[in-house]
């Protein structure tokens, strides 16, 4: 019996993500919340012949509180995406995420919170600060969703191998954060080796494509926003892993942007040579959330440089999130 809730459920990501969650038999209750259109989205999804009972709520009449009551997993794709004229997502999304986090902290403080809203490197620290303010912060239950970077890495490697049928088997850890150079693909640890003779230039181009995959979609959508369908796929994939672990499945490991106060965080800080508060690393999931943050493993010199190059942006992004919550208090 799992109740999952999507905050921002009527949006470009929210709708297909809610569809994928409705299709998952592990979910028995699905709560949808947005400032618009959730009754319609919920009515539509409720006709699908799967177990989840669907409810769609809006802000009036305590909709946020109602939808969050009893929630075990809350996924947040609420907020504006990149589009022409909207470049500073933080300006708008920080306040949206802060408001939603306050709702979760007061109504479902034990829920696992999966943050999709950008910029993830800053919105996750915002949720942490809001939870701290309400004395309910459990770092093991807060996740920045970086799965789209992992999904892209699998797909792009399979394309290079000339066999897309392998895409879902290819596993490439992607660590760091979720924007530009903070996205660090560890291609040397790919489950499927790149072709022999794959040149340094080609490797650099592949790293760059994974780091800036979001730009490809923004450009192709030509003013209509950023990745929604691939993000919904990635968000559902990560949410289902969290739910499987919650239900007792062991051995699930996936990268996520998490607090380095969790077990393994201190060792990771030494590995990356930086005293960061958050970092995306492979984490082991369990019924109480993150069991432990795993080591990044053996890195090539190139990968060490990529990690080092990610640190300044990560430091800034994290501090920007924390400073926002301090200012708005
Ligand atoms: P969208 O505009 O299509 O949908 C966003 C939804 O959020 C809208 O339905 C809107 O009504 C809703 N919303 C706004 N304020 C709200 C509030 N206070 N409470 C509840 N809902 C609210 O945008 P999208 O394309 O779905 O993108 C959503 C976010 O996800 C953006 O910030 C985008 O940058 C981000 N994103 C993250 C990743 C990632 O990998 N983490 C990938 C793609 C997009
Ligand atoms: C992505 O990776 O596609 C998202 O973070 C959206 C964006 O703005 O790039």
ipTM: 0.99
User: Annotation-wise, does 197 bind a ligand?
Assistant: no
- Let me know whether 295 and 225 are in one domain: yes
Structural domains counted in the chain:
2
- Let me know whether 121 and 224 are in one domain: no
| CATH number where 55 lies | 3.40.50.720
Q: Whose CA is nearest to atom 9 of ligand 2?
A: 214
pLDDT at 103: 98
Using the predicted structure, report yes or no on whether residue 172 has a pLDDT greater than 90: yes
Mean pLDDT of the chain: 97
- Let me know whether 25 and 115 are in one domain: yes
Classify burial at 271, counting beta carbons within 10 Å of its beta carbon; exposed 0-12, middle 13-18, buried 19 or more.
middle
- Let me know whether 313 and 210 are in one domain: yes
From the CA of 90, which ligand is nearest?
A: 1
- Let me know whether 231 and 85 are in one domain: no
CA angle 234–236–238, rounded 5-degree value: 70
Query: Is 317 a member of any domain?
Result: yes
Using the predicted structure, report yes or no on whether residue 90 has a pLDDT greater than 80: yes
User: Does the CB atom of residue 82 touch ligand 2 within 6 A?
Assistant: yes
- Let me know whether 316 and 170 are in one domain: yes
pLDDT at 121: 98
Using the predicted structure, report yes or no on whether residue 329 has a pLDDT greater than 70: no
When pLDDT is cut at 50, 70 and 90, the band that residue 7 belongs to is very high
Q: Is 192 a catalytic residue?
A: no
Q: Whose CA is nearest to atom 31 of ligand 1?
A: 81
How is residue 76 written in tokens? 């947040």
**End position of a domain, from candidates 144, 167, 193:** 144
- Let me know whether 187 and 315 are in one domain: yes
Using the predicted structure, report yes or no on whether residue 227 has a pLDDT greater than 80: yes
User: Annotation-wise, does 14 bind a ligand?
Assistant: yes
Give the residue among 244, 252, 194 at the shortest CA–CA distance from 4.
Answer: 244
Using the predicted structure, report yes or no on whether residue 6 has a pLDDT greater than 70: yes
**End position of a domain, from candidates 97, 118, 144:** 144
Query: Is 222 a member of any domain?
Result: yes
Least confident of 136-145, 146-155, 193-202, 319-328: 319-328
Query: Is 190 a member of any domain?
Result: yes
| CATH number where 164 lies | 3.90.110.10
Domain residues for the domain of 52 are: 2-144
- Let me know whether 167 and 65 are in one domain: no
**End position of a domain, from candidates 125, 144, 163:** 144
Determine if the peptide bond prior to 58 is cis (ω within 30°): no
- Let me know whether 107 and 154 are in one domain: no
Q: Whose CA is nearest to atom 5 of ligand 2?
A: 214
Average pLDDT over residues 218-245: 97
- Let me know whether 29 and 83 are in one domain: yes
Ligand 2 centroid, distance to 231 Cα (angstroms): 8
User: Does the CB atom of residue 145 touch ligand 1 within 6 A?
Assistant: yes
Check if the beta carbon of residue 57 is closer than 8 Å to that of residue 31: yes
- Let me know whether 131 and 166 are in one domain: no
pLDDT at 279: 98
pLDDT at 83: 83
User: Does the CB atom of residue 227 touch ligand 2 within 6 A?
Assistant: yes
From the CA of 225, which ligand is nearest?
A: 1
When pLDDT is cut at 50, 70 and 90, the band that residue 242 belongs to is very high
Using the predicted structure, report yes or no on whether residue 287 has a pLDDT greater than 70: yes
User: Annotation-wise, does 176 bind a ligand?
Assistant: no
Check if the beta carbon of residue 294 is closer than 8 Å to that of residue 171: no
Average pLDDT over residues 264-279: 98
Using the predicted structure, report yes or no on whether residue 133 has a pLDDT greater than 70: yes
Find the length of the chain: 329
When pLDDT is cut at 50, 70 and 90, the band that residue 191 belongs to is very high
pLDDT at 86: 79
Check if the beta carbon of residue 131 is closer than 8 Å to that of residue 109: yes
Query: Is 301 a member of any domain?
Result: yes
pLDDT at 87: 75
Using the predicted structure, report yes or no on whether residue 206 has a pLDDT greater than 90: yes
- Let me know whether 71 and 178 are in one domain: no
Q: Which atom of ligand 2 is nearest to the CA of 226?
A: 6
């Amino acid at each position: 019996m799992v109740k999952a809730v999507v905050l921002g459920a009527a949006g470009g990501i929210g709708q297909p993500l809610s569809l994928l969650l409705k299709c998952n038999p592990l979910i028995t209750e699905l709560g949808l919340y947005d400032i618009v259109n959730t009754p319609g989205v919920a009515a539509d999804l409720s006709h699908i012949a799967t177990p989840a009972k669907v409810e769609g709520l809006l802000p009036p009449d305590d909709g946020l509180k109602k939808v969050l009551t009893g929630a075990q997993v809350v996924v947040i794709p609420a907020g504006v995406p990149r589009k022409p004229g909207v470049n500073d997502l933080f300006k708008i999304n920080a306040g949206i995420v802060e408001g939603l986090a306050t709702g979760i902290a007061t109504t479902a403080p034990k829920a696992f919170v999966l943050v999709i809203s950008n910029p993830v490197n800053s919105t996750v620290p915002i949720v942490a600060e809001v939870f701290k303010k309400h004395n309910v912060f459990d770092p093991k239950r807060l996740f920045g969703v970086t799965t789209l970077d992992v999904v892209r890495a699998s797909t792009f490697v399979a394309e290079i191998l000339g066999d897309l049928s392998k895409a879902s088997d290819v596993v490439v850890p992607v660590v760091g954060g979720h924007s530009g150079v903070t996205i660090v693909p560890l291609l040397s640890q790919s489950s499927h080796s790149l072709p022999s003779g794959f040149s340094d230039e080609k490797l650099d181009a592949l790293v760059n494509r994974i780091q800036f995959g979001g730009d490809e979609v923004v450009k192709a959508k030509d003013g209509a926003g950023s990745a929604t369908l691939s993000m919904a796929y990635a968000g559902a994939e990560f949410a289902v892993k969290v739910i499987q672990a919650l239900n007792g499945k062991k051995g699930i490991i996936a990268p996520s942007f998490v607090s380095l106060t969790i077990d393994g965080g201190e060792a990771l800080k030494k590995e990356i040579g930086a005293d960061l508060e958050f970092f995306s690393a492979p984490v082991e999931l369990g019924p109480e959330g993150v069991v432990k943050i795993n080591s990044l493993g053996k890195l090539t010199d190139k990968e060490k440089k990529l990690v080092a190059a990610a640190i300044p942006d990560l430091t800034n992004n994290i501090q920007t999130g924390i400073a926002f919550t301090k200012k708005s208090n």
